[in-house]
Amino acid sequence: MATEQQLTERSNSEMDQVREEARYYRPAVDVSETTEELILRYDMPGVHRGNVDIVVEKNTLGVTGKADAEESGTPTYRETRVGDYRREFTLPEDVDTEHVEAKMDAGVLTIKISKRAQAKPRRIKISGTS
C-alpha cells in the first residue's frame, strides 16, 4: 500500500517538474576564455543576485534565476513576458570545478572557472648545445 502511494507521489511531482521546467527561459549567454579561465556571462534582467542559484555537479554547470515580479497595471504594449531563467552547460574537462567564482551585477551573471594547471599554455625550455 505504502509503496503504491510513494510511486504515485513521485510521478506527480515529476509532472509538476515537467510543467515547471517548461516555463523557463534560456538566458542569452556569452562564453569566452583566457589562458587562465573559462568565462560565462548570462543576461538575466530582472533577477536580483539573491535569487540566483548556481550548481556545479561533476562537469555540469546549472544556473537558475528567479525574476522579480512583473510591473502592475494593464500592459498596452508588450515585447516580453516576465519569467524565470534556467540554463545548463556541460563543461570541458580542462576546467577546475573546485575554483568557480561568480558575480552578479545589473542583471548580468558572470561565472569564471579556472583552468586546470595542465590546460594552461606553458613555455617549454629547449635544451641542447650550440
Partner 1 sequence: MLSQTWFPVFDVAKTLDEMDRLFGAVRQPLGLRSVPRGTFPAVNVYEQGDAAVLTAEVPGIDAKDLQLTVLGDSITLRGERTDEAGEGERYYRRERPTGSFERTLTLPAPINPDSVEAEYRDGILRVRMEKAEEAKVKKVAIKS
At its nearest, how many Å lie between partner 1 and the CB of residue 66? 11
Question: Is residue 85 a contact point for partner 1 (CB under 8 A)?
Answer: yes
Q: 95 to 114, contacts with partner 1 by CB under 8 A?
A: 105-108
Calculate the CA dihedral of residues 39, 63, 86, 108 and round it to 10 degrees.
-50
* Among 79, 82, 88, CA closest to 42: 88
The three three-digit cell numbers of residue 121, written as one number: 599554455
Which residue's CB is nearer to partner 1, number 93 or number 98? 93
- Name 32's Cβ contacts closer than 8 Å, sequence gap at least 6: 38, 39, 41
Provide the mask over 50-69, with x wherever binding to partner 1 is found by CB under 8 A and - wherever it is not.
------------------x-
Contact residues for partner 1 (CB under 8 A)? 18, 21-35, 38-39, 41, 43-48, 68, 71-80, 83, 85-94, 105-108, 119-121, 123
